Structure 1
Amino acid sequence: MQELQALLETLGLDALYVTRPENVRYLSGFPHPEDAQVLLTGEGAFLLTDPRYPEAERESGIPAKVLRREEREALLKDLRGRVGFEAEHLPYAALERLREMAPVEWVPTKGVIERLRLRKTPEEVERIRKAQALAEKALEHALGLLRPGVEEREVALEVEFFLRKGGAEGVAFPPIVASGVRGALPHARASEKRLVAGEMVTLDLGAKVAGYHSDMTRTFALGKASSEMRRVYEAVQAALEVALENLRPGRTGKEVDALAREALGRHGLDRHFVHSLGHGVGLSVHEGPSLSPYAEEVLEPGMVVTVEPGVYLPGVGGVRVEELVLLTEDGIELLSRFPRGYLEV
């Protein structure tokens, strides 16, 4: 808590009003952050919620105030000085209401709590491990469903049901099941398309456990794939290996992204890699740090990132393989353990 109060001094603020749900949960541990806020002052951090959550004091890791509307307004009216708000999350209309309730100087801030979330604690890593282990069980289950005639959305629904039945709060994101030509769409949602023998099938899924997410992708051949798609798979696999070999603290995301693109370039496929190499994972399934052509930030131990090179050939198909990785003091640890070699099912 002293670190947070020192943060106020660094920012030149008397208080910070935190509204982004992931940041609220990070600061408080409260499992219903979409209906709460955290007010950080020189006296400490306080969770603010409403009478729908009478157990908030027990569920929160910081002092909680269960307030009716008029009580909330009275509390905010007592604020003084410069009060920061999360400019990237708070809607303008909500800011206007705050200004009416508390005529203090409202100061926009960006990425304040997000920067604290970049490096995971051992407890956070353990929650991500559990989410990843559950996702891998769901992927194993999904493999048994891949056969000609099955709809993509049938597989996606089975994955979601499996994760929830296994104890997940929910899916990290709607599972991606992209087969055949739809594999050329990096974020294709599962559709009514039926699987066809000889196609590549991309499965991208993750679980949410105790607020923390996992994320992984594997691409399989449904029967015997074409020689072209087998070549694409091997190129993606090579790019992934290069990235993992060079991913470590002290590197920038930009450097590792460039190495993966160079590896694909040796196969003449780099122009078909249309997204970033990876992203951070934690309370959000997409958060900092980034592995991209624009990521100048130096990677540090404790960060958890995906590494996910992909090749997408319009009208033909695509391949993506994604690992979940913890950066350690002397290198990396793979949090994803599911085999990633070429596999025909």
Structure 2
Amino acid sequence: MRAITEAHEVGRASVDALAEAINRLGLAEGVVAVDERGPKRDLLAALAEKFPKARFVPASGLLRNIRAVKMPDEIERITEALRITENGLRAAFAAFSEGVSEKDVQNAFERAVTAEGGRTGFCLVRFGKGLALGQVPASPDIKLGANDFAFFDVGIKYRGYRSDIGRLVSFGEPSDELRFLFDASRSGQQTAIDMMRPGVVAKDVFEAAVQAVRDAGIPSYKRQHVGHGIGIEYYDLPVLTPNARTVLEPGMVFEVETPYYRLGVGGSFIEDTVVVTEAGPSIITTLSRDLTVL
């Protein structure tokens, strides 16, 4: 059984294009695994009509598990997407000035990404206390004030692969509370990263990361996950959850994050891309992981 198609690509590749690939691979009478998810719900039936001697098997779970370990060229594409994203964030930081809006900053990010051939997948920008509101669109009415801070959770698409990165930026000297929350959050993230070696079980990474944030001064800290795979989807497998028994392998690529949200205050956020290698974790993000002060 040979997997040749992913349903999330069907929006760009017609059934005719998939049929051409099946013919080219000599699978017109073979067994073909297909990711059945996506907008074209009759994909399997349409392929079966074109190839009555072939058998098409729904295999989204199988394909997602195969994709959990990346090939070197896939890691290269993820890295390329990440570099464009980092440049977009630098452009967003450069747009900071008193009175600029969340939407203005988002626009600066998206223009920079587009200029390098990327396409924004999501761009969450929140100022100050709005960080605790989560995934709310950037507003043209919320303005940056002196000694304010901003949260970024952004991702793009480039050459079929995704990026995802999170940062906390202070506009002026940060408060002691903001530094404390950031340090606690990053403590958990760094603990998770340090553990990400071949043979380690995903749930153990989760437990250690959450406990590290609690030990750093936020005893009530809770999370559903502290990281997820990335590749041709923003949420590839594996995911670092309390019940995940996946054993980490070289070639797995994760977005590692330990955000914290507190109503009335804001919170903290940091997210980085990590590749599991034979020698241990490799952080491929190059943007500073410190609390950025502008």
TM-score for both structures, normalised by structure 1 = 0.74
2:290 is aligned to 341
On the 8 A contact 1:326/1:333 being kept in 2, the answer is yes
| Alpha-carbon shift at residue 272 of structure 1 (Å) | 4.3
Alpha-carbon distance between aligned partners in 1 of 2:33 and 2:159, rounded to the nearest angstrom: 28
Select which of 4, 15, 20 maps to 2:7. Answer: 20
On the 8 A contact 2:86/2:287 being kept in 1, the answer is yes
| Alpha-carbon shift at residue 224 of structure 1 (Å) | 2.5
| Alpha-carbon shift at residue 293 of structure 1 (Å) | 1.6
Post-superposition Cα deviations, 1:71-98, rounded to whole Å, max 9, x if no partner, equal xxxx9xx879x87654544765666777
Alpha-carbon distance between aligned partners in 2 of 1:232 and 1:117, rounded to the nearest angstrom: 35
2:102 is aligned to 152
Select which of 260, 266, 282 maps to 2:209. Answer: 260
On the 8 A contact 1:19/1:36 being kept in 2, the answer is no
1:36 aligns with 2:14: yes
Alpha-carbon distance between aligned partners in 2 of 1:105 and 1:270, rounded to the nearest angstrom: 54
On the 8 A contact 1:174/1:189 being kept in 2, the answer is no
1:220 aligns with 2:191: no
Q: Which structure 2 residues correspond to residues 59-138 of structure 1 after superposition, within 5 A?
A: 63=24, 85-89=34-38, 108-138=58-88
Select which of 169, 184, 197 maps to 2:132. Answer: 184
SS of residue paired to 2:12: helix
Alpha-carbon distance between aligned partners in 2 of 1:125 and 1:216, rounded to the nearest angstrom: 16
| Alpha-carbon shift at residue 213 of structure 1 (Å) | 1.5
On the 8 A contact 2:6/2:35 being kept in 1, the answer is yes
Alpha-carbon distance between aligned partners in 1 of 2:177 and 2:279, rounded to the nearest angstrom: 38
SS of residue paired to 2:203: helix
Post-superposition Cα deviations, 1:51-70, rounded to whole Å, max 9, x if no partner, equal xxxxxxxxx798389xxxxx
SS of residue paired to 1:34: coil
Post-superposition Cα deviations, 1:95-136, rounded to whole Å, max 9, x if no partner, equal 677788869987543412222211111111111111111211
On the 8 A contact 1:176/1:187 being kept in 2, the answer is yes
On the 8 A contact 1:321/1:340 being kept in 2, the answer is yes
Kindly indicate whether structure 1 or structure 2 has the higher relative contact order, using CA contacts under 8 Å at least 6 residues apart.
2
Name which of structure 1's ranges 304-313 and 124-133 shifts more when overlaid on structure 2: 124-133
Alpha-carbon distance between aligned partners in 2 of 1:61 and 1:120, rounded to the nearest angstrom: 23
Alpha-carbon distance between aligned partners in 1 of 2:57 and 2:72, rounded to the nearest angstrom: 33
User: Kindly tell me: are residues 327 and 48 of structure 1, through their superposed partners in 2, closer, same or farther at Cα, counting changes over 3 Å?
Assistant: same
Alpha-carbon distance between aligned partners in 1 of 2:45 and 2:56, rounded to the nearest angstrom: 10
SS of residue paired to 1:159: helix
Select which of 304, 316, 326 maps to 2:253. Answer: 304
User: Kindly tell me: are residues 130 and 62 of structure 1, through their superposed partners in 2, closer, same or farther at Cα, counting changes over 3 Å?
Assistant: farther
SS of residue paired to 2:138: coil
2:19 is aligned to 48
User: Kindly tell me: are residues 128 and 94 of structure 1, through their superposed partners in 2, closer, same or farther at Cα, counting changes over 3 Å?
Assistant: closer
TM-score for both structures, normalised by structure 2 = 0.86
Post-superposition Cα deviations, 1:287-322, rounded to whole Å, max 9, x if no partner, equal 111112232111110111111111100222021111
Structure number with larger C-alpha Rg? 1
1:210 aligns with 2:210: no
Any stretches of 5+ residues in structure 2 without a counterpart?
A: none
Select which of 291, 311, 328 maps to 2:277. Answer: 328
Identity of aligned residues (%): 29
User: Kindly tell me: are residues 167 and 110 of structure 1, through their superposed partners in 2, closer, same or farther at Cα, counting changes over 3 Å?
Assistant: closer
On the 8 A contact 1:148/1:194 being kept in 2, the answer is yes
Any stretches of 5+ residues in structure 1 without a counterpart?
A: 1-6, 9-15, 25-32, 39-45, 50-59, 66-74
SS of residue paired to 1:225: coil
